[in-house]
């Protein structure tokens, strides 16, 4: 293996020893490889893939042209069907021809013209429309546009016939003033009620030429329409393909043009022809451009090697020196080193900024670590304070029991439960039953505190007891009613929790106290007032509203209705389910 490697290895004396020489060789090779590979692949693509794609695109284009002509002819057929004697308009024509009085004919004439105009308006692609009565003094009636003088429908070129319908065209329009434009037309028998009566409909004068694009993929396209008999019915070049000539006799077409045809099921064919010279022009153009680009690439390869070597070598050396001098200690505020190139100067500047930022981040991390330790101590202190308070209350409770003070024992016991629910480590999401039980403890505590019984009625649907709600949402509302709503112990507070529908529940806390006017309500809900109040009614409502924003967002509704002397009603409408949380959601974890 070593012998084989030595036999193909480049002798050391032939290996370039300078960066410029090696860079020149690498650039030439790097230019040659893509030029050769891209040239080979491009030639294959141009000669096979692109040619096939062009053929497919042109075949698809002529097919779309044929389908557009089919839609035009089908549209003519559908429009003419609406004018036969089987339709309302056709029956009006029969009645018009059989009418005995001038008044009846005038009314029917107006109705027929109106129907014809409506058909034309509903289908803007239609042009001339009229009824044809050959052999009568007035052969053309009910036309929607003026008819050209000395019109002879028998002279129109028949395109093909199908289902007792004659298709004509392309031929000059029969609209007066538009004789220089080509159209398709259709003529069919109106019906058996009046033999020898026909309906004539033609396309809009510019409809046919619009669908045949004269430019296809940058190549000029010629179109020829061949009827079922194999004769030219339309030609973009009458010298190459005269009208009425058989397609089989067009020898010059195959010699100079590449043809694409799409046949209709009724026998007619649309042919599109493009020049073979234009067809091959793209490939020839590519070959010339590829030759020029290849020669230019090879010539510039050596030139760029020297330029790049001179342009890159010195700045790289300066940048390498600065990177190696980085110690990660004191930041460098500025530097006078300039490479002469903006890009490298910016790179050096970004390096200095990055180095200074790294040193700052190291200092910030140290401060963060110190702050984190302080926060851990504060967190432990917050946990210790309620724990100390609970232990103290338990001591008071045991002393009350020892000294036979049942009232103090009961007060401390209830207060401990309320405090444990409000400040303890329970889940932030609880069952409704727990919230109602905590509310009952709070009411009982207040009854002991004021030495009389408040009239608080709690009405909860038993089926809702297991519903998950945020903790401590009812007590602030009842507390507000108790302190700010009731004037004395004669007032009443009602708490009602019911299902509003299958997806919502309604919490309502109402009192029959002093109430508030609209100005007080508006002042209460202002952001400035919320920020200003640190306790009482404002802080309680702020807490409840914040709960709704955090856990329910736009799905919850909060409403207060109050009037002077008529009490206050606070309503909460909540979804039965809280999205994204569960009963084990703890505020301490967050």
For the beta carbon of residue 72, count every other beta carbon within 10 angstroms.
Answer: 21
Whole-number Å distance between alpha carbons of 346 and 332 = 15
Q: Average the pLDDT over 242-271 and give the result.
A: 84
Q: Average the pLDDT over 160-182 and give the result.
A: 88
In the predicted model, is pLDDT for residue 80 greater than 80?
yes
In the predicted model, is pLDDT for residue 505 greater than 90?
yes
The per-residue pLDDT for 7 is 42
Whole-number Å distance between alpha carbons of 442 and 109 = 91
The per-residue pLDDT for 581 is 72
Q: 């990660």: which residue's tokens?
A: 328
Whole-number Å distance between alpha carbons of 196 and 190 = 8
Whole-number Å distance between alpha carbons of 155 and 259 = 31
Q: Average the pLDDT over 316-326 and give the result.
A: 74
CA dihedral 373, 376, 377, 380 (to 10 degrees): -170
The per-residue pLDDT for 509 is 92
Pair of tokens at residue 508 = 């309502």
Q: Average the pLDDT over 90-102 and give the result.
A: 85
Pair of tokens at residue 31 = 């230019």
The predicted-structure confidence for 127-150, as pLDDT tens digits, reads as follows: 889 999 888 888 888 888 899 988
In the predicted model, is pLDDT for residue 167 greater than 50?
yes
Q: How many residues does the chain have?
A: 590
For the beta carbon of residue 142, count every other beta carbon within 10 angstroms.
Answer: 19
Least confident of 324-328, 437-441, 566-570: 324-328
On whether the CB atoms of residues 397 and 412 are closer than 8 A, the answer is yes
Handedness of CA 468, 470, 471, 474 (dihedral sign): negative
The per-residue pLDDT for 456 is 84
The predicted-structure confidence for 109-121, as pLDDT tens digits, reads as follows: 888 888 888 888 8
The predicted-structure confidence for 186-203, as pLDDT tens digits, reads as follows: 999 888 777 888 999 998
Q: Where residue 3 falls among pLDDT bands split at 50, 70, 90?
A: very low
In the predicted model, is pLDDT for residue 547 greater than 50?
yes
The predicted-structure confidence for 368-389, as pLDDT tens digits, reads as follows: 876 775 566 555 445 545 655 6
The per-residue pLDDT for 488 is 66
Handedness of CA 540, 545, 550, 551 (dihedral sign): positive
Q: How many CA atoms lie within 13 A of 431 on its CB side?
A: 8
Least confident of 314-318, 384-388, 459-463: 384-388
In the predicted model, is pLDDT for residue 152 greater than 80?
yes
In the predicted model, is pLDDT for residue 9 greater than 70?
no
Q: 469 phi and psi, to 5 degrees?
A: -140, 165
Q: Within its chain, how far is the Cα of 520 from the centroid? A: 46
Strands 468-470 and 504-511, by their bridges, are unpaired
Q: Where residue 8 falls among pLDDT bands split at 50, 70, 90?
A: very low
Whole-number Å distance between alpha carbons of 71 and 91 = 27
Handedness of CA 369, 371, 372, 377 (dihedral sign): positive
Of 258 and 34, more confident: 258
Q: Within its chain, how far is the Cα of 440 from the centroid? A: 53
Kindly state the helix (H) or strand (E) to which residue 385 belongs, with its residue range.
helix 342-402
Structure letter (DSSP) for residue 231: B
| Mean of pLDDT over the chain | 78
Pair of tokens at residue 40 = 């080979």
Query: What percent of the chain lies above the pLDDT cut of 70?
Result: 79
On whether the CB atoms of residues 164 and 188 are closer than 8 A, the answer is yes
DSSP 199-260: EEEEE-TTHHHHTS-SEETTEEEEEEEE-TTSBEEEES-TTTS-TT-BGGG-HHHHHHEEEE
Q: How buried is 518 (Cβ within 10 angstroms: 0-12 exposed, 13-18 middle, 19+ buried)? A: exposed
For residue 329, what are the β-bridge partners? none
Q: Average the pLDDT over 207-218 and give the result.
A: 76
The gap between the terminal CA atoms of the chain, to the nearest Å, is 67
Handedness of CA 118, 119, 120, 123 (dihedral sign): positive
The per-residue pLDDT for 538 is 58
* Closest-CA residue to 187 (of 224, 139, 146): 139
Q: How many CA atoms lie within 13 A of 374 on its CB side?
A: 6
DSSP three-state, residue 170: strand
Pure H helices in 82-167: 88-98, 102-122
Least confident of 107-111, 231-235, 278-282: 278-282
For the beta carbon of residue 408, count every other beta carbon within 10 angstroms.
Answer: 16
DSSP three-state, residue 67: helix
Least confident of 60-64, 208-212, 467-471: 208-212
Of 333 and 410, more confident: 410
Handedness of CA 202, 204, 205, 210 (dihedral sign): negative
* Closest-CA residue to 507 (of 461, 553, 462, 550): 461
Domains and CATH numbers, the chain: 54-276 (no CATH), 425-575 (3.30.565.10)
Whole-number Å distance between alpha carbons of 304 and 559 = 76
Q: Which residues of 337-351 are buried (b: 16+ CB within 10 A; e: fewer)?
A: eebeeeebbeebeeb
The per-residue pLDDT for 55 is 84
């Amino acid at each position: 293996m070593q012998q084989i490697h030595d036999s193909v290895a480049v002798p050391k004396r032939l290996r370039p020893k300078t960066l410029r020489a090696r860079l020149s060789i690498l650039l030439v090779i790097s230019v040659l490889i893509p030029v050769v590979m891209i040239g080979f692949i491009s030639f294959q693509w141009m000669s096979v893939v692109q040619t096939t794609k062009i053929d497919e695109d042109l075949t698809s284009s002529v097919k779309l042209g044929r389908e557009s002509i089919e839609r035009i002819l089908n549209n003519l057929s559908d429009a003419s069907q609406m004018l036969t004697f089987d339709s309302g308009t056709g029956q009006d024509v029969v009645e018009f021809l059989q009418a005995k009085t001038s008044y009846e004919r005038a009314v029917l004439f107006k109705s027929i013209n109106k129907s014809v105009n409506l058909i034309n308006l509903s289908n803007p692609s239609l042009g001339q429309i009229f009824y044809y009565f050959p052999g009568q003094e007035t052969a053309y009636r009910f036309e929607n546009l003026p008819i050209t003088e000395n019109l002879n429908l028998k002279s129109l070129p028949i395109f093909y016939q199908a289902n007792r319908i004659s298709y004509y065209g392309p031929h000059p329009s029969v609209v007066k003033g538009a004789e220089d434009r080509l159209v398709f037309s259709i003529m069919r028998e109106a019906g058996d009620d009046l033999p020898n009566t026909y309906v004539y409909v033609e396309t809009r004068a510019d409809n046919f030429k619009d669908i045949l694009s004269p430019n296809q993929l940058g190549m000029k396209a010629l179109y020829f329409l061949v009827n079922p008999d194999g004769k030219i019915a339309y030609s973009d070049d009458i010298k190459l393909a005269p009208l009425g000539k058989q397609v089989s006799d067009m020898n010059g077409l195959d010699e100079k043009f590449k043809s694409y045809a799409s046949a209709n099921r009724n026998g007619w064919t649309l042919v599109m022809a493009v020049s073979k010279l234009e067809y091959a022009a793209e490939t020839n153009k590519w070959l010339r451009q590829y030759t020029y680009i290849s020669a230019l690439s090879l010539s510039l390869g050596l030139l760029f090697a020297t330029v790049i070597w001179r342009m890159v070598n010195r700045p790289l050396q300066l940048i390498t020196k600065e990177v190696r001098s980085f110690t990660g200690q004191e930041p460098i505020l500025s530097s006078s080193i300039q490479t002469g190139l903006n890009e490298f100067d910016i790179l050096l500047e970004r390096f200095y900024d990055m180095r200074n930022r790294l040193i700052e981040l190291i200092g910030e991390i140290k401060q963060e670590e110190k702050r984190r330790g302080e926060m851990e101590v504060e967190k432990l202190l917050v946990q210790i304070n309620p724990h100390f308070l609970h232990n103290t209350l338990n001591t008071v409770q045991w002393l009350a029991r020892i000294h036979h003070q049942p009232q103090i024992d009961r007060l401390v016991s209830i207060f401990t439960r309320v405090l444990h629910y409000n400040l303890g480590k329970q889940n932030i999401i609880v069952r409704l039953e727990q919230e109602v039980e905590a509310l009952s403890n709070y009411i009982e505590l207040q009854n002991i505190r004021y030495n009389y019984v408040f009239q608080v009625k709690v009405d909860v649907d038993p089926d809702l007891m297991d519903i998950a709600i945020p903790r401590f949402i009812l007590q602030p509302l009842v507390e507000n009613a108790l302190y700010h709503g009731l004037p004395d112990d004669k007032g009443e507070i009602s708490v009602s929790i019911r299902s509003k529908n299958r997806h919502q529940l309604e919490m309502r806390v109402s009192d029959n106290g002093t109430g508030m006017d609209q100005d007080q309500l508006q002042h209460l809900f202002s952001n400035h007032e919320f920020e200003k109040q640190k306790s009482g009614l404002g802080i309680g409502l702020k807490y409840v509203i914040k709960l709704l924003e955090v856990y329910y967002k736009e799905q919850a509704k909060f409403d207060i209705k109050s009037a002077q002397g008529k009490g206050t009603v606070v309503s909460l409408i909540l979804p039965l389910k809280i999205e994204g949380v569960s009963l084990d959601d703890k505020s301490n974890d967050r």
